[in-house]
Structure 1
Amino acid sequence: MKNLSYESIIKEIKRRLSIVSLIEAYLSLKRSGKNFVGICPFHDDKNPSLQVSEEKGLFHCFSCGAGGDIFGFMMRYNNISFPEAIVELAKRADVPLERQYRSPAREKSIADALFRINSLTCKFYHKALLESQEGKEALNYLSARGISLEMVKEFNLGYAPSSWNTLTKLLAAKNIPLGTAEEIGLVIKRQNKDSYYDRFRGRIIFPIKDVDGKVVGFGGRTISGEEPKYINSPESEIYHKKSILYGLDRSRDYIRREKHAVVVEGYMDFLSLFYAGIRNAVATLGTSLTREHAII
């Protein structure tokens, strides 16, 4: 098992561990046909909304939408990072890890790789908004909402093409593991197939950045009336929603100068205020103001 690559370690852990046995260590499951069901721990569940598929190695809640593989369950249930989930599950699966996989330097290396993937994706979406035929409608929508071309460029707004696999093909062509892209919410794995499709399609894209300006995730707004109106990147190793305030990378200095912040709910609210000259604003991305937000 020595010198396994990062991707190989993940595959080996998945091969050795039963997702049913793992989840049963935390909650009660009952067989339902070829799958298992239980009370979902991620929301106030009254009925067994959680379904676990041993065959697919996946869990999914049909009520709150939580889902993923063994790593996703561990991260969400125990509120830990992806590297921490790897270490914990490697112990359970008796998969030896080289020390580098547990070190802070290795964790930083993983995070840097995810940031690079998001940066590439951000540039792709931005170019699609400015240069594609589909993007013109999105630009017209933004203009009608008072968002100028200058602001589009300043905040790297983008557009996700309506095709099911435009981004997926780009990432594959760049030799980016699609399993890694799935972990940060850019693509979704098809059920019963070893293939992926784009999470964001036919939507205006708002890059979500940390305080240092690194892209940690994306928000996508429909312009066609499709529901839901907004979809966002899931939490990941580099994106923790309760610790991120949209626009803080741009408004931090203004907030310090004014000694207070104007807190709004969403992307468009923030951009409208910024355009109007109110630069000490931030957005909570649809959540209540958290303790972590206040500390920031």
Structure 2
Amino acid sequence: MSSFSPQFLDELRARVSLEDVVGKRVKLIRRGREYVGLSPFQKEKTPSFTVVPDKGFYHDFSSGEHGDVIDFVMKVEGLSFPEAVERLAAQAGMEIPNDSPEEREKDRQRQTLYDAMDVACAQFQKMLRMPEGKAALAYLHGRGLPDSTIERFRLGYAPDSRGTMKGALAREGVPEELMREAGLIRRPDDGRPDFDYFRGRVMFPITDRRGRVVAFGGRIMAKGEPKYLNSPESAIFQKRHVLYGLTQALKPARDGGRILVTEGYMDVISLHQAGFDFAVAPLGTALTEDHLQALWKIVHEPTVCFDGDTAGQKAAMRVADHALALLKPGYSLRFALLPTGEDPDSLIKARGAAAMSEVLAATLPLSEILWRMETQGRMPTTPEERAGLEDRLSRQALRIGDSTVRSHFLRAFKDRLWSEWREAGRRRNKGAGGERRPSPQVGIPAAAARATGTDPLRGAQQVLLAIVLRHPDVFEAEGERLGALGFADAGLDRLRQAVVTILSGQPDLDAAGLARELAAAGLAAESDALLGDPMISHHRKIAAAADAESVLATWRDTLETLRRAAFAAERETIKKRLAGDLTPDGWRRQQAALRAAIGDSEG
């Protein structure tokens, strides 16, 4: 029977989604942080089967079955333990380690590395309380850390010496080869003896999910670079997998249903000390896919909090950008924005825990961060700018791998564009004292307005505008559709924009009132030309005397014509955007985007 190292099994459980695996066999219904469904082990009518994703287990109250994702696959598929592990590893894209003497030796070495790192951690802690660690201890106390916090996070000190730690570890029985492999000593290029890797630094032990020390971070006490130094990667430490503070944060995060991602060691410690004991931090790098998957195992919507300076804002944008391809239904991120120039540690020291609570109470969803990133705080004022913003937002949404989430993002962005555009129109229509101050519009000759009158799409657009000009009450129910459209003919589109703007601000206008407002905006000629066009003037179903039912039916038929044309155009745009991606996943994204486009055009 094959054997697997505890480290490999832990990583497998972390990568595979328990609810996804179970969901292929059981129809699960979400209830808070858990899922329930009918037992897969025996027949029942009332759900008694529970999945607890953040703790990684299921329990069936009807049969007493209990276990993790490996146990579930073994039970429902009748597989042995190695077979279940191999199947799940294939799903997770993990390579099965060879069950060979060499691999067993590597496992033994990894365990020895854990032992060496724990001995080193104890030595660093001891050095902090020695005379040579006096300045480091004063520094930590000066940062507001009491001894209880120092002990909880096992903080220590590496003396400013080339061989003090090397000698201390040797006296504890740690061989030099193991020190080197653990990244505790380093061999110089000139052939001199190995020297201590960390020197003159306050030491922050970095632990894995099980609380084992796997690496260290060191902050220099004197002047010098780098300010923070992490252990080199090793057989037990890959920084893309590790989050600082997770050992301490795991239970509070699970119990409270929230986890906070910040930037540095001191931020994490200060947050924990102030009562935000669900804070973690990546190790000087952006959040990786492995980090995100690990966070989603704990809570479905982690909060990312970065410094309020420009670098912190850029880091937040990179996280948002990186997360898009990984989103799935129910799993996303929220963002906490700190005041400019502040980090969690400085904010808490200056204004207390209440200020941090206010920041966390005002978190923003990922979609809002993308919106702010693309608008830069300025809404478009012209059709061209609006089209550009819509294109940029659509490109962001199309990067989302899950078709359901992608469709919702596309729809949300389109809805918000319309809402913001309409609100801007209302504001423009109201001057001081609530009176409308129309802005001048550039008119076009009536002949030019009819120049392409034989174009069927332009004809449909003319019909829509004519309906609103003669029957403005249609706008209250159908105006959103008109506002979301864009006409290729510049003159016709100016008239459309003016109608939308006027009626958004003054929804009670009748046909005569709308005509007066258009004249005040300098668009009387365009309006008269449209209504005087033979195609419009002889169209009995939209005449001024036509009944409301006939008018509304004509509106919807005409809109359907434009909807089909819009979808055809969007289909070509999507094909061009994704034409270079010939992978099966790229094809699926293209088809999902096309389905989303159909849904949006039908909305």
Q: Structures share a fold, TM > 0.5?
A: yes
1:290 aligns with 288
1:169-224 CA-to-partner distances (Å, cap 9, x unmatched) read 12333443312211221000122326210000110000000011100000000121
CA gap of 1:193–1:151, structure 2 versus 1, over 3 A, is same
Counting strand residues as a fraction of each chain, which structure ranks higher?
1
SS at match of 1:102: helix
Per-residue deviation, 1:99: 4.1
Which amino acid is 1:120 matched to? V
Residue in structure 2 matching 1:243, options 235, 238, 241? 241
1:281 aligns with 2:282: no
1:211, 1:222 → 2: CA distance? 26
Output the CA distance in 2 between the equivalents of 1:253 and 1:176. 33
Where in structure 1 are there 5+ consecutive unaligned residues? 1-79, 88-97
Instruction: Please state whether the residue corresponding to 1:159 is helix, strand or coil.
Output: strand
Q: Which of 1 and 2 has higher RCO (CA within 8 Å, sep 6+)?
A: 1
1:136 to 2:134 alignment = yes
Q: Residue 114 of structure 1 aligns with which residue? A: 113
**1:234 correspondence with 2:232:** yes
In structure 2, what is the Cα distance between the partners aligned to 1:150 and 1:175?
29
Segments of 5+ residues of structure 2 without an aligned counterpart are 1-93, 295-603
SS in 2 for 1:236: coil
CA distance in 1, matches of 2:189, 2:163: 15
Aligned to 1:101: 102
Instruction: Decide whether the 8 Å contact of 2:245 with 2:268 is kept in 1.
Output: yes
Letter in 1 for 2:201: R
Distance 1:194 1:226 in 2: 23
Give yes or no for contact 2:185–2:197 (8 Å, CA) kept in 1.
yes
Q: Report what 1:169 is aligned to.
A: 167
Distance (whole Å) between structure 2 residues aligned to residue 155 and residue 127 of structure 1: 14
Query: How many residue pairs were aligned?
Result: 200
CA distance in 2, matches of 1:192, 1:136: 33
Matches within 5 A, 1:190-209: 190-193=188-191, 195-209=193-207
* From 246, 258, 261, the counterpart of 1:260: 258
Q: Which structure: greater helix fraction? A: 2
Task: Note if contact 2:154-2:205 (Cα within 8 Å) is conserved in structure 1.
Answer: yes
**Alignment correspondent of 1:218:** 216
Q: Supply the AA of the counterpart residue of 1:101.
A: E
Q: Deviations over 1:83-129 (max 9, x none)?
A: x8xx9xxxxxxxxxx942223xx332111100000000000000110
Q: How has the CA–CA distance of structure 1 residues 179 and 194 changed in structure 2, closer, same or farther, with 3 Å as cutoff?
A: farther
Aligned CA RMSD, in angstroms, stands at 2.1
Counterparts in 2 of 1:48-59, with a 5 A limit? none
Aligned to 1:204, what secondary structure does the other structure show?
strand
Q: How far apart, in 1, do the equivalents of 2:148 and 2:260 lie?
A: 22
Q: Which residue pairs with 1:146 in the alignment?
A: 144
Q: CA deviation at 1:294?
A: 1.3
Query: Which consecutive aligned stretches of 4+ in structure 1 deviate over 2 angstroms post-superposition?
Result: 170-177, 190-194
Counterpart residue number, 1:47: none
TM (norm. structure 1) is 0.64
User: How many Å apart are 1:286 and its aligned residue?
Assistant: 1.6
**Distance across 1 between alignment mates of 2:139 and 2:224:** 15
- Give 1:12-161 correspondences, 5 Å limit: 99-103=100-104, 106-130=105-129, 132-161=130-159
SS at match of 1:242: coil
**Taking every aligned residue pair, what percent have the same amino acid on both sides?**
39
Q: How high is the TM-score relative to the length of structure 2?
A: 0.32
